[in-house]
Structure 1
Amino acid sequence: AGSGFIIEPTGIVLTNNHVVEDAVSITVRLDDGRSFSAVVVGRDPLTDVAVVKIKDKVEGLPTVKLGNSDALRVGDWVVAIGNPFGLASSVSLGIVSARARDIGAGPYDEFLQTDAAINPGNSGGPLFNMRGEVVGINTAIVGGGTGIGFAVPSNLVTALVPQLEKEGSVTRAWLGVGIQDLTRDLSSALKLPVTEGAILTQVNPASPAAKAGLKSDDVVTAIDGQPVTSSGQLTRTVALKRPGSTSTLTVFREGKKQDVKVILGTRPDLEGVTSRKPQGDDSQESSRRVGVSLQNLDARTAQQAGFNERQGALITDVVPGSPADRAQLEPGMVVVEANRKPVNSADDLAKAIRAAPAGSTLLLRVAAPGGSRMLRALRMP
């Protein structure tokens, strides 16, 4: 049980991805007692946003309006409404405590922080400003904390909803770089006249950034005239661009300012969230044994993500608490060897898992984006 809110009178509902992910059936229950069956139209796990549609033909449902979260200031009053602990239509009042919080939930964190009480079951519910506009989707709380809740800002949601409704998933633009924040100390060491920006720590071969001539240690301070003050801001700004479009990056290289035009690429689906391609019944059964989802590594994904490998089994999901989780396997890793034998596809790894006796340990060699390799010991249940 979670919360949500209707944005179109025909029954389009916004909620959190974690509320509906892997659901077998979905029921939308309104405050007036009516209940409807519903289906997921689109979802984006990377920002924890999902769009749900009521199956029945309905019209004239009460709706809410998405407001401008960028207009919020720290100290502004906000109201959270939801279904905490099954207590429907509970209301809590608070203020905006901070904006653009990065809580480590994903690569596009930009949460609003509020002290309006948010509890289990509030997830997916609306955060209102004093004009009755939704400025956020209540999403997360800090375990053991009091008065510390987080909401996905409405402006991010507004940018995603049209694509989720139309295509069911989000396609993001991609530079193909590794980045970190520019600090005052790093600025001094690099002899730069600026103290805020994003340092390119790595430029993946054949990536859009490489084709544009960007180099390691370049510092990005703006994109299309919009200031970039951190690595997270650069990641979020690029992600909202259209793949294939051209953007102008303002960079400092060896202390000198210059503009670089980049034709943005399409972010590879490292997490497997836009399409989970089944590899056959045997592969799925073997994957379920250890709690991991797999797909073949294709050449395009390998090139854009900076993998040196061009073949292997790409991990797209790991079940928490599973043998794969205990072996420290993570989505985005590519398994290239199993017991020192090459793994060229998801089926190769599935066969190795299927052949391993219970209680044995499968030695895996895995690659991470950027080229680093590690060993993992997968114990068979």
Structure 2
Amino acid sequence: MMLKRFYSSGLILLLVFLASSLSVPARASFPEFTELVEKVQPSVVSIQVDVVRWGRTAGRSGGSGFIVDDEGYILTNHHVIDNGSKVTVKLFNGREFEAEVVGSDANTDVALLKIEPGKQKLNPLKLGTSEVLKVGEWVLAFGAPFNLEQTVTAGIVSAKGRGEVGSQYVPFIQTDVAINRGNSGGPLINLEGEVVGINSMIFNPMVSSGLSFSIPIDLVNNVRQQLLESGVVNRGYLGVQFGPVDQDKADAFGLKEVGGSLVTRIYPDSAAEKAKLQEGDVVVAVDGKPVRKAQDLPYYIGQKMPGDKAQLKIVRNGKERDVEAVLTDGAGRIVSVDNGSNQLGIRVQALRDDLQEAYGVRHGVVVSEVMDKSPAAEAGIQNGDIIQKLHRTPIRSMDDYQAALADLPERGKVAVLVVRPGRGSDFLVIQL
């Protein structure tokens, strides 16, 4: 009996020891966030916006932001302050200031605000670089989801260069950090306490999917400088429509490997036409930087100014050649998920190849957001609908959509041909 108790006690001690020893490496592998959080939180702000839509007050909306210098400049998202008649910034200590919108860029979803802090001491964050950010690296998101101020969540970088999920000018950082409505505009922070991105969107607002997207801080810095200098952002414009290159296309166009951006259309009087680019050319590098995915092309071009020269390496008929294009002004011709959409109250995105296969359609644009009580919402348009015709204009691309928006009447009824996956197509009427 005594021997059994001895063995039982020894076995329990051994199991406790093994459990303790096994748990140490697991516990040690996770970073300690507390000091980092205490350092960053005083720099994060909550933003409240009095919203005006279609000439009427539409209540208040909220988001997040962060302080970037002692003078009171604050970075946030364009969509946080869009349609705002008054923007109020709330600091970590509870003090509130009315903010001036210095400038805002819908195409990158970046906005720059300014407060007059007076004697209030500010705690600006250090801006890092997203260039050296690695997949698998720990990051933290700060913000005010659902108006829950000073919320912190952590996760890892899941991927970089996700240009296919939103604006063609933004190679988003994908993370598995939990963010929700209200996190928009808050900082994405590395373990050095540096800002590496601005939290911008999640894959599906209705589902917790672990797919969050942030704007790289290197791109944000470029936009911030232009907003500081002039309040607007200028971009070079090449004047092409483009698409991805899969294995079949790589074989057909004589490429050594899959990658690049396939030119499918040249716009008249554009930089591309003057440089004698042709449909079927595959752009594989811009200024020596490889174009690995189709979305790399507009990003590289968008970082340059009108009048700049772009050195393009292309493959034509299986042979590489160098082409120089002098970029023109892209103002008014930029493909954007946001430009002009507020008249209808929707945001749209391009119909990518994977969506074409999933929906069984070959052209149109996909509705990615419908604003509450908007003309589109009243007409019954829903997220996921595919618009193929808008006010007598066939919609085959984002450019067609932009052109149709420009031709819309200020008042009246507008017919929209909508394809709803699994339920066929129908015309809906929007009352403007």
Give the alignment's TM-score, normalised by structure 2: 0.67
2:310 maps to which of 211, 225, 247: 247
Q: Distance in 2 between matches of 1:95 and 1:225?
A: 30
In structure 1, the gaps of 5 or more residues are 278-286, 293-316, 337-344, 355-360, 366-374
What stretches of structure 2 of length at least 5 have no aligned partner? 1-61, 347-370, 391-397, 418-425
**Aligned equivalents of 2:193, 2:235: Cα separation in 1:** 31
Q: Which residue of 2 aligns with 1:223?
A: 286
The one-letter code sitting in structure 2 at the alignment partner of 1:126 is P
Q: How many Å apart are 1:37 and its aligned residue?
A: 0.8
* Pairing of 1:158-237 with structure 2 (within 5 A): 158-237=221-300
Q: 1:321 — aligned with what?
A: 377
- SS of equivalent residue, structure 2 residue 170: coil
Q: Aligned partners of 1:272 and 1:202: how far apart in 2? A: 14
Mean Cα displacement is larger for which, 318-327 or 93-102? 318-327
Counterparts in 2 of 1:271 and 1:100: CA distance versus 1, 3 Å: closer
Matching residue of 2:358: none
- Using the alignment, how far apart are the partners of 2:185 and 2:246 within structure 1? 35
Report the residue type matching 2:216 in the other structure.
Answer: P
Q: Name the structure 1 match of 2:144.
A: 83
Distance 1:183 1:103, change over 3 A: closer
Runs of 4+ in 1 over 3 A off after TM superposition: 55-60, 270-273, 317-320, 322-331, 361-365, 375-381
Q: CA–CA distance in 2 between the matches of 1:137 and 1:257?
A: 38
SS in 2 for 1:193: coil
Cα separation, partners in 2 of 1:191 and 1:134, compared to 1, 3 Å: same
Instruction: Decide whether the 8 Å contact of 1:86 with 1:121 is kept in 2.
Output: yes
Q: Are the counterparts in 1 of residues 226 and 233 from structure 2 also a CA contact under 8 Å?
A: yes
Determine which of 154, 158, 164 is the counterpart of 1:97.
158
- Greater radius of gyration (CA): 2
Partner of 2:104: 43
Letter in 1 for 2:292: T
For residues 79 and 364 of structure 1, the distance between their equivalents in structure 2, rounded to whole angstroms, comes to 42
Q: Is the 1:80–1:118 Cα contact (8 Å) retained in structure 2?
A: yes
> What residue identity is the alignment partner of 1:160?
V
The 3-state SS of whatever aligns with 2:295 is: helix
Given that 2:71 and 2:116 are in contact with CA atoms closer than 8 Å, whether structure 1 keeps it comes out as no
The 1:380–1:165 alpha-carbon spacing in structure 2 relative to 1, beyond 3 Å, is same
Tell me the C-alpha RMSD between the 2 structures. Answer: 3.1
1:333 alignment partner in structure 2: 403
What's the CA shift string for 1:236-287, capped at 9, x where partnerless? Answer: 00001111011111111111111111101111324799xx99xxxxxxxxx9
Shift of 1:7: 0.3
Q: 2-side partners of 1:156 and 1:23: how far apart?
A: 24
Task: Tell whether 2:200 aligns with 1:139.
Answer: yes
Q: Take 1:211 and 1:103, find their aligned partners in 2: how far apart are those partners? A: 28
Q: Which residue of 2 aligns with 1:111?
A: 172
Give the Cα separation in 2 of the matches to 1:94 and 1:39: 33
Q: CA deviation at 1:121?
A: 1.3
Aligned residue pair count: 318
Distance 1:376 1:264, change over 3 A: farther
The TM-score normalised by the length of structure 1 is 0.75
